[in-house]
Amino acid sequence: MRLLHPSASVSDSATASARRTLLIVDDEEGPRQSLRVVFKDAYDILIADSGAAAIELAKNNRVDAAVLDIRMAGMSGTELLANLKIIDRHIEVLMLTAYETVETAKQALRHGACDYLTKPFDLGVIRQSVDNAMQRRALTDSLRANSQELNETMDELRHQQRTQSEIYASVMHDICGPLSSITMIVEMVKMDLETAHGSVPAPMLDRLTQANKQAARCIEISRRYLRGSRAQDAQPSAVLVNQVISDVRELVAINPLSKGHQFTAMPLARDVLVPINGTELVQILLNLVNNALQATKAPHTVSVSAEYLDAPLDLSRLVDGPAERLINRENFSGAPPLLALCVRDDGPGIMPDVLPRVFETYFTTKGSGEGTGLGLSIVRRLVARLHGAIHVQTTPGKGASFTVYLPAGAK
Ligand SMILES: Nc1ncnc2c1ncn2[C@@H]1O[C@H](COP(=O)(O)OP(=O)(O)O)[C@@H](O)[C@H]1O
Ligand SMILES: [Mg+2]
């Protein structure tokens, strides 16, 4: 039996849905009706004359609070309390008790009731008590909603993190496969030459040995960063900048994306050790270089350069505009020393309507199978963690440059 306030209706959703529901359970008609009259203006009322009927109502309706008589024929109020808490442990339950069942009511508090009132009840007191119960319920609801939102955000973050490191690890891993095949093929060519000519001519043997050395070195680099991506904390958090640049050069050289394009990576004139995790630097650079290589299929040029800055960066020069963006400005001081890494290409550049979105997670202008929309969001996250900033500059039709500024002083 569902009794709604006479002036409300189920379809009156704006008010009905905002109203909370009070369940009144008593096996005596008198108290049932008087409670209904007291609360009908404030709440939607459900009334039951027995524990069994109350359970049915609670199963089929949302109940925010309940007022239960302790002594009822059949199922007692205390038993009903336990059953209601099984249906929804957040229902606020108030026990009504006669003088002789006060001890039982106190026990009910230990089983999750929020309050008890002795009969005959004072109207002001019961109103206050039910209103308090409803407020507690509203508070629980909003806490639950917030914690659910928090959990969803955490899940999403965990998912992103997993996807990012999985992609990175699988790229590194996939590179090792073909490289191992190359070293095997080179060895087989040597054997074939030996069989055909008795011995391999020295210059040829030299080149083949060189090829294998390079391939072995790339395998070693991949393994190094693969280990690093699995145990980032275990890896020493300092690296020689030129080591990173030469590793990136070798990894790009064997990347099919670089085929047909010109790629250069300029080391620092004087190498420096920076207190930054090498795996993270490689990850940043590879993502930027891959984007630059993918900017167009037409042959174009991509370059990586590095600069060690020991004067403060003039941030007023770097603005956030239609052809330019500065990411993580709010957490970046520009204080020296800084490492600036720049990836530049002379591809088509980035259109003004695309530029504001490029760092969004899952934003891509590439076809499915080509782009995941994760590259720049990985770069943004890594750079933010290193307290750096990213400056993007583009001229549509002429190319784009991404410069990453990272604090390079001792931490
Ligand atoms: N060097 C670049 N030249 C032109 N567009 C770029 C360049 N770098 C990034 N973009 C744009 O930014 C988008 C997002 O890049 P990213 O986050 O790495 O994802 P994805 O490469 O998977 O698309 C790209 O789809 C592209 O539109
Ligand atoms: Mg990308």
Q: Which residues does 18 contact at the CB level (< 8 Å), separation at least 6?
A: none
Residue 403, classed as helix, strand or coil, is: strand
The CA–CA distances, whole Å, from 190 to 20, 205, 362 equal 83, 7, 47
Question: In ligand 1, which atom is closest to the CA atom of 359?
Answer: 17
Q: What is the pLDDT of residues 68-83, one digit of tens each?
A: 999 998 999 999 999 9
| Alpha-carbon radius of gyration of the chain | 35
Ligand 1 — pocket residues by CB below 6 A? 287, 291-292, 295, 345, 347, 350, 354, 358, 363-366, 371-377, 400
At residue 161, the pLDDT reads: 65
Question: In ligand 1, which atom is closest to the CA atom of 290?
Answer: 21
Q: E-assigned strands of 217-335?
A: 239-240, 262-266, 273-274, 301-309, 324-327
In this structure, of 8-12, 35-39, 176-180, 199-203, the range with the lowest mean pLDDT score is: 8-12
At residue 228, the pLDDT reads: 59
CA of 371 to the centre of ligand 1 (A): 8
At residue 165, the pLDDT reads: 65
Global confidence as pTM: 0.55
Examine the pLDDT at 67 and tell me if it is beyond 50. yes
Q: Which ligand is nearest to the CA of 376?
A: 1
* E strand or H helix at 178: helix 123-197
At residue 98, the pLDDT reads: 79
At residue 242, the pLDDT reads: 95
Give the residue extent of every domain in the chain: 2-121, 236-407
Residue 267, classed as helix, strand or coil, is: coil
Give the up-direction half-sphere exposure of residue 52: CA atoms within 13 A in the CB hemisphere: 2
Examine the pLDDT at 342 and tell me if it is beyond 90. yes
CATH of domain 236-407: 3.30.565.10
Pocket test for ligand 1, best of 300, 362, 376 (most atoms within 8 A of CB): 376
Q: What is the pLDDT of residues 50-66, one digit of tens each?
A: 999 999 999 999 999 99
Q: What is the pLDDT of residues 356-410, one digit of tens each?
A: 999 998 899 998 767 878 889 889 988 998 999 999 999 999 999 999 999 998 7
Average of pLDDT values for 120-147? 88
Please state which CATH class domain 2-121 belongs to.
alpha beta
C-alpha 75/C-alpha 55 separation (Å) is 11
- Which residue type occupies 13? S
At residue 408, the pLDDT reads: 93
Question: In ligand 1, which atom is closest to the CA atom of 354?
Answer: 27
CA of 291 to the centre of ligand 1 (A): 5
Q: Which ligand is nearest to the CA of 379?
A: 1
C-alpha 106/C-alpha 111 separation (Å) is 9
